[in-house]
Amino acid sequence: MSERRAEITEHGGPEVITWQDVDLGDPGEGEVRMRNTAVGLNMIDTYHRKGVYPVELPSGLGLEAAGIVEAVGPGVSDFKEGDRVVTFGPQLGAYATARNMPADRLFAIPDGVADDVAAATFLKGCTTEFLVERCGKVESGWPVLVHAAAGGTGQLLVQWLKHLGAEVIGTTSSAEKAEKAKAAGADHIILYTEQQVAPRVREITGGKGVRVVFDGVGKATWEASLDSLGPRGLQISFGNASAPVGDTNLAILAQKGSLFTTRPTLFDYYSDPAEARAGAARLFALLGEGVLSVDIGQTYPLEEAAQAHIDLEARKTVGSTVLIP
């Protein structure tokens, strides 16, 4: 049976995304055939496409998808035909109607969580889990700063942090996005198009600065993030939405208050199977309890992924984006 999948043969703009017909064949040892019902769009997809994170070419695109197990290969005991599953990679190729996947990279979707919600949430939600609970180790009462607080990951960060009792300051580019961040629970909003971030953070915190900054923007917010931190604060740089940070002088960390900085990745925090299961369970528990709500701001047909990339990089999207096969 022929399936459709996205492919890139060179790095570049959205125009390098092409679509191919492929014959999957039967799943191999330890694999299942997964038919996608919803595919998550993430900023990291654009990094792979552009070569910010180089991949071997030709390559598929996309990490995150939800779907149904259609066939089970030899040696698979955890899943059966008809099971609903979700994945965040690390194998690229989620932009597809179906594919054969290693079963150990799949997670069961609990009853009560819709496929589009799983696809919109899983990568971002697991990222939020490790950033807040295992990297930032945020405690109740801490003031924290979340850049791009109206984005898909941003809204989840705000909700998770408020659940833990943090005081959340969010940055957004517009009044419309500010309302999204406020609805997620942000205590304070800074419109970075109208206000300087760090001075406003100091004003909000009585001059003390925040304990942790969650920065998925990168180069454009690097200085403001450091200047927003209090002594021995932690700057978590987890994305490059503007551009990679590049070279930096470590002495700056001393000059600005013995600061800490880290550049973590999801897969380093989810490489251990027990940690991965626990992190995913924590995410699904908070979804089930209603602590986290998912804002699917827009959907696109799967083969309009290039337009979705254009809109995402132009910051025209709000919340999460899902591609529908």
Domain assignment of residue 275, yes or no: no
Domain boundary among 263, 290, 316: 263
Buried b (16+ CB within 10 A) or exposed e, 94-105: bbbbbbbbbbeb
35 and 100 share a domain?
A: yes
- How far is it, in rounded angstroms, from Cα 236 to Cα 225? 9
Q: Is residue 191 part of a domain?
A: yes
Same domain, 243 and 289: no
CB-based contacts of 36: which residues, under 8 Å, 6+ apart? Answer: 65, 66, 67, 94, 96, 97, 98, 99, 302, 325
Q: Which residues touch 204 (CB under 8 Å, ≥6 apart)? A: 143, 169, 188
Domain presence at residue 6 = yes
Strands 31-41, 65-72: pairing is antiparallel
Using one digit for the tens of pLDDT, what is the confidence trace for 69-124?
999 999 999 999 999 999 999 999 999 999 999 999 999 999 999 999 999 999 99
The β-bridge partners of 33 are 71, 100
Q: Do 10 and 90 sit in the same domain of this protein?
A: yes
Q: 102 and 52: one domain? A: yes
Residues facing 7 on adjacent strands:
18
Confirm whether 296 is domain-assigned: yes
**Are residues 149 and 103 both part of a single domain?**
no
Question: pLDDT tens digits for the chain (325 residues)?
Answer: 689 999 999 999 999 999 999 999 999 999 999 999 999 999 999 999 999 989 999 999 999 999 999 999 999 999 999 999 999 999 999 999 999 999 999 999 999 999 999 999 999 999 999 999 999 999 999 999 999 999 889 999 999 999 999 999 999 999 999 999 999 999 999 999 999 999 999 999 999 999 999 999 988 899 999 999 999 999 999 987 777 787 888 999 999 999 999 999 999 999 999 999 999 999 999 999 999 999 899 999 999 999 999 999 998 888 899 999 9
291 with 232, same domain: the answer is no
Q: What's the CA gap between 36 and 194, in Å, rounded?
A: 42
- Residue 128 domain-assigned? no
Count of domains forming the chain: 2
209: Cβ–Cβ under 8 A, 6 or more apart, which residues?
A: 143, 201, 202, 228, 229, 230, 231, 233, 257
Say whether both 44 and 73 belong to one domain.
Answer: yes
CATH number where 8 lies:
3.90.180.10
Q: Which domain holds residue 189?
A: 140-263
Q: For residue 1, what pLDDT is reported? A: 66
CATH number at residue 247: 3.40.50.720
In a domain, 235, yes or no: yes
- 130 inside domain: no
pLDDT for residue 245: 81
What pLDDT is recorded for position 286? 96
Query: 154 and 221 share a domain?
Result: yes
pTM value?
A: 0.92
Same structural domain, 8 and 54: yes
